[in-house]
Amino acid sequence: MQKITNYFKKADRIALALLIGSVLIFVLMGVTHPKFFGKSNLQSMLIQCPEYGILAFGMMIAMIAGGIDLSLVGIANLSGIVAAVLMLRMGGTNLSIGIGIVAAVLVGSLCGLFNGFIIGFLDIPAMLVTLCGLQLYSGLALIITKGPAITGLPETFSNIANGKLLGVPIGAIVFVLIAILLCYLLYYTVFGKSLYLMGTNKIASRFSGINNLRITMLTYCLSGIFGSLAGILMASHYNSAKSDYGTSYTLLTLLIVVLGGVNPNGGRGKVMGVVMSIILLQLVSSAFNILRVNAFVKTFAWGLILILVTTATYLTAQKEARD
Amino acid sequence: MNQKIRNFLTSNEMIVVYIIAGLAILIGSVNHAFNSISTVVNLARTMLVTLIFAMCEMLVIVSGGIDVSFPAIASLAMIATGNIMLKNGLDNVPLAFLMGAVIGGVLGTLNAVLIAVVKMPPLIATLGVSSMTSGATLAIFGAKILTVLPAKLDELYKVSLFTYTNPEGITYSLTVLFLIPIGICLLMWFLLKYTMFGRGIYATGGDIRAARIAGFNVTAIQFFVYIMSGILSGIAGITYMILMRAADPSVLMGSEMMVIAAVVMGGTRITGGHGTVLGTILGVTLISLIKNNLIMLGVPTHFQTFVIGLIMIVGTSITSLKAKHIANSAKI
């Protein structure tokens, strides 16, 4: 019995609170609007959430490392566009789709490595570097496309995000696989441990023999790869690629990550919390859609939730410190 | 003495001056249309609102924070003031600026509470406020562009400091609104350089704990900085509305990148504690020059985003390398 209570005490309280919130919304919406449980709604939820969910993972590891990655959307669009251009140039065969995806991931990792190198080597704050990065990568994307969207992508490619495996959208499966991989990386490898240590205290990690530059570069590289995967999903979902898709995702991913209990100052954060907050936000978003609330109210609500949650976390932390 | 001159010639401000001069000579030699007074007038017009934004951003960055909510605050101030004045038949220039300043001040206070009291990271707090504000602006007032402004506001647009007619008969006039950023710059310069409070802002940005121990009221300084930033953003919104003779709720959104770039180019360190008014003015001049005249060099417009990003990253690398060099050099 002691063991069980201990388990619940140790289990992420934030993840638990988010789970309760999700269940509440689910039940409430399900009872009042039966359409919420409909197959089409559930499936559209599963298609939408992997896109920004994967971006949120990228943001999460950057934040655990004590930084932030604001260039994710830029990386996503740039790699989506590179993939689209390659596919169209090579005739849209299955082989060209494979090459396009590999090239996109390569572009994402290069962008991430560039971010990581400047942050780690020149000691410029991550926020500034990735803001510049966003400008650079969307600028490159704009140079490639000259403005309009690239359309007419092969049909097989659009099946990646819109297709299903046993009734579950493929994007959702990719998302789950990435979550499991991330759990392994963060909790069971030396890289993960060093990442948490570096995020907590940079100087201490350097003096304990961790190569901060290497860890920083690896972290942002991984975050860039996540960005490019989200970019592929986005391009496949819309069946086109453009330099300004998903611009609202930057705020959304920040909101998800902070809501999921990742400390903006670095060193703390769990995959489970982030997954839970992705689910909660997707439920809120779908509920807004079904209730036909103005889209601008949604933007307002995101900001409000972000502020309320951080305030609440601060108040509870203070109460704990007093006890 | 020699050392002093050398320090002056290699200061951040002078580096920006060299870049501006080099760029102006380059553009001027490629395209002779650049060498005219109209360029100066156009540049001043482009800089006008950006300069106000840059001043508030510089103040915030010097204090060790960052503010990305100013475009949203300016948009709300602009749209709300325009709508309220038209609906109630109000027509008064000082009232418009007062309303803008009050709206900006309220939102700035919200920022200040979140950052100074709740201790939220400034980027996240201001992003949240920005999202709330822009959502509220569009949800309450709609995405409609106001094109008819109250008559007296419209008249102010036509008052000009001086006019210049070029040989082809096209008239360029510098509007009287340019006095607003000049006034704000002078005020900031005096505040930051000659008052104890201003020195406190630098101290807070340099090391917040040391500043508190040295006896500065850090919370008051943070409150002042964010409220001031809100008020200036509100004023900038109204200025923009008069300058463009329209109130568009989405035109300013996304300009935060440009402004932060300009401030950082001017030698303000993003980590806080360093930055000057003159440097910021030069930074804004450089960015506006690039933005206005890139096309004169034959660079297509879709290259603009990339070039500005490149300049930002090179500029920040230079200032950071310089700071690293100073930190590593031998202390006397």
pLDDT along chain B (332 residues), means of 10: 75 81 84 77 85 92 89 91 84 86 93 88 86 87 79 76 70 78 91 90 89 90 93 92 82 78 83 86 88 77 80 77 72 54
Give the largest CA-CA distance in chain B.
67
> Contact at 8 Å (CB) between B131 and A306?
yes
- Using alpha carbons, list the distances in angstroms from residue A162 to A149, A227, A235: 19, 19, 11
Residues of A in contact with B304 (CB under 8 A): 139
- Distance (Å) from the alpha carbon of A92 to chain B's nearest alpha carbon: 27
Q: What is the per-residue pLDDT for A267?
A: 80
Choosing among B69, B127, B130, which should be mutated to test the A contact, i.e. which has the most A CBs within 10 A? B127
Q: Is B5 exposed, middle or buried (0-12, 13-18, 19+ CB in 10 A)?
A: exposed
Residue B209 CB partners (closer than 8 Å, separation 6+): none
Q: Is residue A139 within 8 angstroms of chain B, CB to CB?
A: yes
User: What is the per-residue pLDDT across A232-252, written as a single tens digit (0 to 9) for each?
Assistant: 888 888 888 887 777 778 878
Chains A, B: CB pairs < 8 Å: 133
Q: Is residue A23 within 8 angstroms of chain B, CB to CB?
A: no
- Using alpha carbons, list the distances in angstroms from residue A213 to A204, A218, B178: 14, 9, 47
User: What is the per-residue pLDDT across B158-170, written as a single tens digit (0 to 9) for each?
Assistant: 777 777 776 666 6
Query: Cβ of B128 and A307 within 8 Å?
Result: yes
Work out the percent of chain A whose per-residue pLDDT is above 90: 16
**Residue B162 β-bridge partners:** B174
Q: 10 Å Cβ neighbour count for B170?
A: 9
Query: Cβ of A143 and B303 within 8 Å?
Result: yes
> Contact at 8 Å (CB) between B166 and B172?
yes
Query: Cβ of A314 and B119 within 8 Å?
Result: yes
User: Token pair 């197959």 is at which residue?
Assistant: A39
Residues of A in contact with B125 (CB under 8 A): 307, 310
Residues of B in contact with A301 (CB under 8 A): 135
Query: Cβ of B270 and A124 within 8 Å?
Result: yes
Residues of B in contact with A297 (CB under 8 A): 135, 139
Nearest to B127 among A133, A139, A254 (CB): A254
Nearest to B131 among A118, A132, A303 (CB): A303
- pTM here? 0.83
Name the residue of chain A whose CA is nearest to B322's CA. Answer: A122
Distance (Å, whole) CA B86 – CA A245: 36
User: What is the per-residue pLDDT across B264-311, written as a single tens digit (0 to 9) for each?
Assistant: 888 888 778 888 899 899 989 988 888 877 777 777 777 877 887 887
